[in-house]
């Protein structure tokens, strides 16, 4: 099985930066995804890391260290619409995804 840990909740101010950490223990690692999920909606893709290092995509960046089983998602210039749950998901085996429980980010004015 997979063990994926991420903080339950984080709060930040509009315009600030927030870093969401994710640690995982896995077998047959294929890559790590970050998804955003608003309440009652489907997960939407944010980023993907398969090699070590930083991937930057606009206001969102994601980092991976495979040797440490560690990733983070960095959200810059926070906006109110960024208030959502952020899901760390590991691709393994036959490319299925195992998800963490999600981190609820609340952006305050």
Partner 1 sequence: EPEVTQTPSHQVTQMGQEVILRCVPISNHLYFYWYRQILGQKVEFLVSFYNNEISEKSEIFDDQFSVERPDGSNFTLKIRSTKLEDSAMYFCASSEFWFVDRPPYNEQFFGPGTRLTVL
| Residue ranges in contact with partner 1 by CB under 8 A | 30-31, 33, 35, 41-45, 48, 50-51, 87, 89, 91, 93-102
CB of 78 or CB of 105, closer to partner 1? 105
* Residue number with CB closer to partner 1 (94 or 109): 94
To the nearest whole angstrom, how small is the minimum distance from the Cβ of residue 11 to partner 1? Answer: 19
| Rounded least distance, CB 45 to partner 1, Å | 6
- For 30-54, letters b (16+ CB in 10 Å) and e give ebbbbbbbeeeeebeebbebeeeee
In whole angstroms, the minimum distance from the beta carbon of 16 to partner 1 comes to: 27
Contacts of 28 (CB under 8 A, 6+ apart): 92, 93
60 versus 99: smaller Cβ distance to partner 1: 99
Dihedral (CA of 32, 62, 69, 41) sign: negative
Give the shortest CB-66-to-partner 1 separation in angstroms.
11
**Which residues touch 52 (CB under 8 Å, ≥6 apart)?**
64, 65, 66, 67
| DSSP 8-class letter at 82 | G
- Which is closer to partner 1, CB of 35 or CB of 72? 35
């Amino acid at each position: 099985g997979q063990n994926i840990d991420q903080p339950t909740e984080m709060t930040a101010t509009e315009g600030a930066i927030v870093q969401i950490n994710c640690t995982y223990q896995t077998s047959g690692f294929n890559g790590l995804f970050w998804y955003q999920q608003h309440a009652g909606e489907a997960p939407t893709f944010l980023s993907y890391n398969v090699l070590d290092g930083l991937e930057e995509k606009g206001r969102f960046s994601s980092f991976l260290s495979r040797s440490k089983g560690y990733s983070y998602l960095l959200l810059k210039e926070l906006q109110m619409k960024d208030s959502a749950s952020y899901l760390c998901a590991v691709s393994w085996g036959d490319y299925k995804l195992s998800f963490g429980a999600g981190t609820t980010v609340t952006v305050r004015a």
